[in-house]
A and B are shown apart, each in its own frame.
Chain A
Amino acid sequence: MIAIESLSFDMPGAGKSKRILNDINIHVGRGECFGLVGESGSGKTSILKCLAGQFKGWEGGIAVQGKSIADTSLKERSNTMQMVFQDPYGALHPRHTIRKILNEPLAIKGLPDKAERIHKALKDVGLDESFLPRYPHQLSGGQRQRVAIARAIILDPDIILLDEPTSALDVSVQAEILNLLASLHHRRQLTYLMVSHDLGVIAHLCERVAVMKAGEVVEVVAREDLIEGNVTHNYTQSLLQHAFSRE
């Protein structure tokens, strides 16, 4: 579904550029939930930004559904790939009502039955139609993240990029959103590529995890191995230790 091969990216800066991704190889299968963990600055989000078309000028190959994304525009990709952002406060336009937010992707695509699709997407994320005339600032963080998820699934994409979708939320709300994501994953046969620094969140949702450090993938582990501590690389072991020592 997603094939990333020897991806490298240099962040252009003043003077000399800085290499933030180095020779990344990741393959995500159809219907899989793949996680990316690592500390801040390890390049997890940069991979998503390359996929989402925000970073240009990367080297290597990224193919989505067998087609290289260098050859397809964002508009062509919008039916296959959508994204949910970390910050539920910044992800929704503050002066658009929920109706307008959900209507926009349908209007851009010129799809019929807008009201029905909006109703269905809202139902899927556990909201009702009374939210439609409201503005984002009238909603709680969890509700906003639900709207953001509804916006991502309303075009029926196959892939959803999740950029730390729960890290800005309360613990109780985190669990709700994670359960929502898990149930959507099963019901809609979605493929997830999820970034998080929280091993617990990753282990809850993802089948396989790539551990990243300083712009490189050090290890790809399955969920079972992660839970049992069956990891080979030193860095992954220390990550696991930290995760457990916190609990």
Chain B
Amino acid sequence: MKSTETLKNPGYALGARSEAQPSRMTFWIKSFKKLCKNPLSASGVVIVALLLVCAIAAPLIATHNPLEQDLGRILASPSLAHWFGTDEYGRDIFSRIVYGSRVTLYIIFLVTIIVGPIGLLIGTMSGYFGGWVDSVFMRITDIFISFPSLVLALAFVAALGPGLEHAVIAIAITSWPPVARLARAETLTFRNSDYVVAAQLQGASSFRILFHYISLMCLPSLIVRLTMNMATVILTAAALGFLGLGAQPPLPEWGAMISTGRSYMLESWWLVAFPGAAIMLVSLAFNLLGDGLRDLLDPRTE
């Protein structure tokens, strides 16, 4: 018995295959083009790309050593030699901001790879199994959600001691609950779908269904959520740095730069303005990118 499609169109099975199913590469290029069509998300892409370039090529872009003090040129206003001016120890602010992008990306990356899997695992498990598993996981999530996240992060850093890694752990602990909730809500919509029932009838184990079926369906909205989350992570990291609990001097962290620049703010505005602008720009970029990704990935908007 031949399929009717093959009968109607003999070239269907032989010739036109490459046309019918684009390769993975062209799929990515197509998605990227679609993402860049919207000017807002395109600007998000550009800024995030710039941040990546800054972090990777920091030694090439920076005009000075970010840690080198020059006490003869303290609090110099922006000029050709020092584009963004110098701080209270005569360090070049532009170079410090460029190197600071490494710290920011490091925090974002670590928090995301901690929060993503934890949120996905807890959310899909409580959504799929339901019953007491759901109750236990969701009550734990409720407890974490009911704390103001900055206060909880402060408490963790205070307990663990200040430092970049501890700030990362503190931020991760405060930011997984919304991700878990999202994954649970998504799971609830898929757990009774026919393909999951079919997998159960084939004898698939619960963990196979969770990893091969349900997680795949949760991933798009989770990626969007995590991208939006990155903006919050940057702000929390900056806030912790500002309070002196995140990155420790002399590490060029943007929040810490604002914190130390605060004392000279009235006479030397560039100490605060440039790191502040960097934080604002990057968190805005991640929000725009997240919006763009939602348009691209979320099946409900198609």
Contact = CB atoms under 8 A, between A and B. Distances in A.
B265 to A, nearest CB: 51
Contact of A78 (B21, B201, B216): B201
Nearest to A155: B202
A90 B194 contact: yes
Question: Which one of B5, B13, B195, B213 has the highest number of Cβ atoms from chain A below 10 Å of its Cβ?
Answer: B195
B139 interface: no
B198 interface: yes
Given A85-B194, A143-B3, A130 B202 contact: no
A130 B194 contact: no
Given A90-B193, A90-B195, A104-B212, A176 B4 contact: yes
A109 B198 contact: no
Interface in A115-140: 126-128, 130, 133-134, 138, 140
B203 A52 contact: no
B195 A93 contact: yes
Contacts of A16: none
B200 interface: yes
A246 to B, nearest CB: 27
Contacts of B4: 142, 176
A105 interface: yes
Contacts of A76: 203
B187 to A, nearest CB: 14
B198 to A, nearest CB: 6
B300 interface: no
Interface residues of B, number: 30
A82 interface: yes
Contacts of A83: 197-198, 201
Interface string B179-209: 0000000000000111101111111110010
A27 B2 CA distance: 36
Contacts of B199: 104
Nearest to B2: A126
Contact of A52 (B17, B20, B201): B201
A74 B197 CA distance: 11
Given A104-B212, A134-B20, A54 B197 contact: yes
Contacts of A229: none
A74 B200 contact: yes
A243 interface: no
B6 interface: yes
Nearest to B200: A74
A87 B197 CA distance: 13
A119 B219 CA distance: 31
Contacts of A223: none
B193 to A, nearest CB: 6
A135 B20 CA distance: 11
B195 A108 contact: no
14 contacts: A74-B201, A74-B203, A77-B201, A78-B201, A78-B202, A78-B203, A81-B201, A85-B194, A105-B203, A108-B204, A126-B1, A126-B3, A128-B6, A146-B3
A-B pairs, 9 with minimum CB distance: A75-B203, A78-B203, A91-B194, A105-B202, A126-B1, A85-B194, A93-B195, A90-B194, A130-B13
Interface of A: 52-54, 73-78, 81-83, 85, 87, 90-96, 104-105, 108-109, 126-128, 130, 133-134, 138, 140, 142-143, 146, 148, 151, 155, 176, 180, 183
Interface of B: 1-6, 12-13, 17, 20-21, 192-195, 197-205, 208, 212-213, 216-217, 299
